[in-house]
């Protein structure tokens, strides 16, 4: 996996300082440095292009993406696993967006994969064609475009109307095998499980089974090669939450469950937890370690995020 992030001068200086002790002896042409960050090679060019290459590139880059958002208010980055060949781009551009809207479909989506605290939640939903207008009236769309208040308001109404299956992976369990699986494999396994469940238990008549594309189709099924039961016949679409009501509904229900678990965790700790994986997360993480000890992170945080090193090393 290769993730490329365009960073500002302020972020460049922060990266140079952070990776000072991790730099390789040899530096590529036009690069300020090249460093080893766990299983990821990080290269920062004088132009401001930061390249993260390796198994955990998504995790290694997440902090710097959040940092750039804070420093500049916006961020531009690309993910090689989501890039498409030119021919495929042209073909996809010709697809009518409405093709996947007014249909009988099962779709899945996840939340929590970019949050240091809180679980990963994946949901698959079955939306009948006759449910589409109802969902439109509720304002169903990608959960990232809705406020938490709106999510808490409409998710129960969606859950009463449609069939769905959800899977919640807490961080205690996540930490038991994250060294074996990268995040995309975790997502693939969870998506497959909820899709297989709803297809087997509800036996819906569908036009499409849709997954918001986080990995290419062949890579997705490669992640599942050791699974006994695999849901086939999936259509992989980028930004599927905007194109299909089943995926959008799954996005909202997943976010709803995530928020409920997140609030419960904050109350248990008696500390208001921040979402994401930015600088505020590091600050609160240090507070948690001071109050409960380092071992507490094993229960509530995704230890393979770079936040862990920053929290522990600065305490």
Hey, what's the torsion of the CAs at 256, 258, 260, 266, to 10 degrees? -150
Q: Does the predicted model carry a pTM greater than 0.75?
A: no
Q: Which residues of the chain form beta strands (DSSP E)? A: 2-6, 31-37, 40-45, 49-54, 76-79, 105-111, 120-127, 163-169, 208-212, 234-237
* pLDDT 10s digits, 250-268: 999 999 999 999 999 999 9
Nearest Cα to Cα of residue 307 among 287, 291, 292: 287
Fold match between domain 2-82 and domain 90-264: no
> Superfamily for 90-264?
Ribonuclease H-like superfamily/Ribonuclease H (3.30.420.10)
Mean residue pLDDT across the chain: 90
Measured CA to CA, the distance from residue 146 to residue 241 in angstroms comes to 12
Q: How much is the pLDDT for 142?
A: 65
* Better pLDDT: 178 or 3: 3
Three-state DSSP state, 123: strand
pLDDT at residue number 70: 87
CATH class held by domain 2-82: alpha beta
Structure tokens at 93: 């551009």
Domain boundaries, the chain: 2-82, 90-264
The pLDDT tens digits for 80-104 are 766 544 444 444 544 455 789 999 9
Q: What is the pLDDT of residue 82?
A: 61
Which band of pLDDT confidence, cut at 50, 70 and 90, is reported for residue 298?
very high
């Amino acid at each position: 996996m290769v993730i490329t992030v365009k960073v500002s001068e302020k972020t460049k200086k922060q990266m140079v300082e952070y990776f000072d002790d991790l730099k390789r002896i040899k530096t590529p042409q036009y690069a300020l440095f090249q460093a080893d960050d766990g299983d990821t090679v990080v290269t920062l060019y004088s132009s401001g292009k930061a390249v993260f290459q390796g198994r955990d590139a998504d995790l290694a880059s997440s902090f710097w993406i959040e940092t750039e958002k804070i420093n500049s208010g916006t961020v531009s980055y690309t993910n090689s696993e989501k890039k498409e060949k030119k021919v495929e781009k042209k073909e996809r551009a010709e697809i009518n967006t409405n093709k996947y809207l007014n249909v009988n479909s099962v779709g899945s989506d996840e939340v929590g994969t970019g949050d240091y605290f809180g679980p990963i939640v994946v949901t698959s939903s079955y939306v009948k064609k006759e449910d589409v207008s109802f969902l439109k009236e509720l304002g169903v769309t990608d959960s990232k475009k809705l406020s938490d208040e709106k999510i808490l308001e409409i998710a129960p109404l969606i859950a009463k109307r449609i069939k769905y299956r959800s899977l919640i992976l807490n961080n205690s369990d996540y930490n038991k095998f994250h060294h074996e699986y990268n995040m995309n494999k975790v997502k693939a396994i969870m998506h497959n499980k909820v899709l297989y469940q709803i297809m087997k238990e509800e036996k819906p008549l569908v036009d499409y089974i849709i997954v918001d594309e986080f990995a290419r189709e062949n890579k997705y099924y490669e992640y599942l090669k050791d699974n006994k039961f695999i849901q086939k016949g999936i259509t992989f679409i980028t930004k599927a939450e905007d194109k299909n009501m089943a995926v959008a509904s799954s996005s909202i229900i997943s976010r709803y469950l995530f928020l409920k678990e997140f609030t419960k965790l904050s109350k248990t700790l008696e500390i208001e937890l921040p979402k994401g994986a930015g600088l505020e997360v590091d600050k609160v993480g240090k507070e948690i370690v001071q109050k409960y000890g380092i071992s507490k992170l094993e229960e509530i945080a995704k230890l393979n995020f770079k936040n862990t090193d920053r929290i522990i090393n600065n305490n």
